[in-house]
Amino acid sequence: MRSAERGWIGVAGGVALRAVLAAVVTALPAPLVAQAALSGAKADVVRGVEARAKLAQVINDQLFSYAELGFQEWETARYLTALLEKEGFAIDRDIAGLPTGWVARWTNGSGGPVIAIGSDIDGIPKASQTPGIPWRQPMVDGAPGHGEGHNSGQAVNIVAALAVKDWMVRTRTPGTLVIWPGVAEELLGGKAHMVRAGVFNGVDAALFSHVSSQLSTSWGQPSGTGVVSVEYMFKGESAHSAGAPWRGKSALDGVMAMATGWEMRREHLRPEQRSHYVISDGGDQPNVVPSEATIWFYLREQSFAAIADMLKTADDIADGAAKMTSTTVNRRLLGSAAIQHFNRPMAEAAQANIAAVGLPRWDADDQAFAKAVQVNVKATVTDGLETKLAMLGPPPETPKSGGSDDIGDVSWTVPTITIRYPSNIPGLPGHNWANAIAMATPIAHKGVQAGAKAMAMTIVDLLTKPRLMADAKAYFRDVQTRNQRYEPVLTNADVPATWLNTEVMTRYQPELAKRYYDPQRYGSYLEQLGVKWPTLGSGAAE
C-alpha cells in the first residue's frame, strides 16, 4: 500500500514537473510572478469573504428559518437562485427530475477549469428549535428544523464563490464556477440523480462543504457507509377484523414478518452494516384488515458489492414474508448513496488553506453557550467549542461504520473533497433538535466565515495551479478508480422520490412562514426572535 502510493507520487510528480517546465519555457519569469500573485490572490479572496460577512449571516439565518425537508426546499431554492441570478450566475432550474434542484453557472473568459461547489440544503423532521436557546424549545411544535445544520453550507459556498468571482474578473482569470445544492440529502435522494443526469459532465473538480464542529478535510475512503433507501409495499385483502378476519390477508402481517425476518438475519450480517426501518404505512384502523402496508429500510454497508448484497437479502426476506402471509410485495427505491472516496491532492491543498485560516476566535460568550448546551443535552464532550485544529491524516485503515452522504456519488464522478467547517457544537447527537441550537447564532456565523475562507482559497488553488488539477485527476484515475468503479444502485426505472415530505411541509409551512427571517428589519434571526445572546442555564427555572 505504502510503496504503491510512493510510486504514484513519483509518477504524478513527473507529469506535473513536465507541465511546470513547459510553462517555464514559454514564459521564463512566470514561476516567481505566479508565486507572488498567488499569496496576493488568497489574501484578496479572504478579504472578499470578510467583506461579505453580513451576506453570509443573512443566507445562513434565512435558510434556517425556512426549515424545509428534503424534496420540499421550495423557499430555499427560490431565495438562493434569485440571489445568484442577481450576482450574474445563469440558473438551470428543475434539474435531474428534482423540482427543487438547480445549477448556477458563471464563466469568466474562455477555457479555464470548471469547479463545482456544492452543499446540502434540507432539514430534519421534528427538529424545530429556537436558535440560541440551550434547551428544548421548538419554534413550531412538531415542525421540521435544521437539526443537521444544512442551512449553513450555501452561505459558505456562495460567499466564497462571490469573493473568487470578483478576483477572477479583476485578474482576468479564466474559469467556471458551478454552484449546486444537495437536494434531499437526508433522504439520500438527490445527488445520484444529478450524476446520472450529467450535471457533473465537464466539471474538473468538485468542492463540497458540510457543517461540523471542526475545520477539516480528508482523503481516501472515510469512516461511514454507502446506503440504499428502499421501501417494500405489501398488498393484501381487507376484511372485517372481527366479523370475518379469515377472509382478509393482512399487508401489515407482511410488513411485520419482513421486519422479524430482518432482525433474525441481522445477527449474521457484518458488524459494520447499519440497517434501520420505519413502518411508513401500517394500515388505516384496527377493525379493517390492512390491505396495504409499507416498510421503509435504510441498508448501509462499506462497499458497492456489500450494499448490493444487502439489497438482495432484503428482497429475499420480503418475498418470504409475502409468501408467509399470502400477500404480494413490490419494491421502490427512494434513495441511494455511494461509499465516499475523496481526492488526496485536493485535500492536501485544502489542508494548507485550512491551516492558514485556523479555527474561529471564539469569545467567552460563544464558549459559555456551547458548554451550557453540552451539559443540557449530555453531550459526549463538555469542554465547549473546538480550539485545536485537526490534522490531515491518512484515511483509516479499517474505516468505522456510521452514516452516509450521497456526495459519495459525486466523488466517483469527478475529483472531490468535502471541507468541513466549525459552525456547530461538538458532542451532539446528530439529526436532532439539539443540532439546530447553534445554527443561527454567532457560532454558526463564525464557522461559516472560516469555511468560506478555506473554500475560496482552495478554489483559487484549483484555478491557478494546473499541476494541482493534473495531480487531482491523476489520483482519481490511477489510484481511486484503478481497482474500483462507481456502481450506482440507481436503475433507469428509478426516479427521485419527490412526493416525500409533501404532506408534512404542507401542514407546517404556514406556521413556519410567519417566522421567516426578515433581514430588512432585523440584524440577525436571534434579534427577530428576541433571543438574548448568550442565553445560558438549563431552562429548568424558566
- Interface residue list for Zn ion (CB under 5 A): 148
Tell me whether residue 52 or residue 150 sits nearer to Zn ion (CB atom): 150
Measured from the CB atom, the residue of 423 and 441 that comes closer to Zn ion is 423
Coil, helix or strand for 466? helix
Residues 343/475, Cβ–Cβ less than 8 Å: yes
Least spacing, CB of residue 243 vs Zn ion, in Å: 49
Do residues 293 and 279 make contact, with C-beta atoms less than 8 angstroms apart? yes
Rg (CA), the chain: 25
In the complex, what is the shortest distance from the CB of residue 120 to Zn ion, in angstroms, rounded to a whole number?
5
Grid cell for residue 425: 457544537
Provide φ and ψ at 36, rounded to 5°: -65, -45
Residue among 93, 102, 73 at smallest CA distance from 186:
73
In the bound complex, which residue of the shown chain has the CB atom lying closest to Zn ion?
148
Q: Please, what is the Cα angle at 522 between 518 and 525, to 5 degrees?
A: 75
Residue with smaller CB distance to Zn ion, 148 or 292: 148
CB of 267 to Zn ion, least distance (A): 30
User: Of 325, 309, 317, 326, which Cα lies nearest the Cα of 258?
Assistant: 317
Which residues fall within 8 angstroms of residue 128, CB to CB, at 6 or more apart? Answer: 67, 138, 139, 140, 141, 142, 143, 144, 145, 433, 436, 508, 512
Instruction: Report DSSP state, residue 407.
Output: H
CA atoms within 13 Å, Cβ hemisphere of 334: 24
* CB distance 101 to 120 below 8 Å: no
Nearer to Zn ion, 153 or 534 (CB): 153
Nearest to 316 by CA among 257, 267, 274, 235: 257
Tell me whether residue 76 or residue 535 sits nearer to Zn ion (CB atom).
76
Nearer to Zn ion, 371 or 420 (CB): 420
How far apart, in whole angstroms, are the C-alpha atoms of residue 159 and residue 89? Answer: 13
Shorter beta-carbon distance to Zn ion: residue 77 or 479: 77
Residues 125 and 519 sit within 8 Å (Cβ to Cβ): no
Q: Smallest distance from the beta carbon of 406 to Zn ion, in angstroms?
A: 10
What phi and psi, each to the nearest 5 degrees, are found at residue 361? -85, 95
| CA-based end-to-end distance of the chain | 58
User: Measured from the CB atom, is 68 or 461 closer to Zn ion?
Assistant: 68
Q: How far is CA 170 from the centre of its chain?
A: 32
- Least Å distance between CB 393 and Zn ion? 22
Whichever of 124 and 228 has its CB closer to Zn ion, that residue is 124
8 Å CB contact between 121 and 73: yes
**CB 405 → Zn ion: shortest distance, Å?**
6
Q: How far is the CB of 496 from Zn ion (least distance, A)?
A: 18
Closer Cβ to Zn ion, 148 or 386, answer by number? 148
Q: Which amino acid is at 381?
A: V
C-alpha cell recorded at residue 280: 411508513
Q: Return the ∠ at Cα 312 (arms to 311 and 318), rounded to 5°.
A: 90
Least distance from Zn ion to the Cβ atom of residue 131, Å? 18
User: Please, are residues 249 and 326 in contact by the beta-carbon 8 Å criterion?
Assistant: yes
In whole angstroms, give the CA distance from residue 472 to residue 452: 21
3-state SS of 317-372 is: HHHHHHHHHCCEEEEEEEEEECCCCECHHHHHHHHHHHHHHCCCCCCHHHHHHHHH
Q: Least distance in Å: CB of 108 to Zn ion?
A: 31
Q: Residue 40 CB, nearest distance to Zn ion (Å)?
A: 35
Instruction: Report the nearest approach of Zn ion to the CB of residue 497 (Å).
Output: 18
Q: Which is nearer to Zn ion, 73 or 148 (CB)?
A: 148
Whether the CB-CB separation of 304 and 487 falls below 8 Å is answered with: yes
Residue 403 or 519 having the CB closest to Zn ion: 403
Question: 191 vs 465, which CB is nearer to Zn ion?
Answer: 191
Nearest distance in Å: CB 150, Zn ion: 6
What residue type is 517 in one-letter code? Answer: Y
CB of 36 to Zn ion, least distance (A): 39
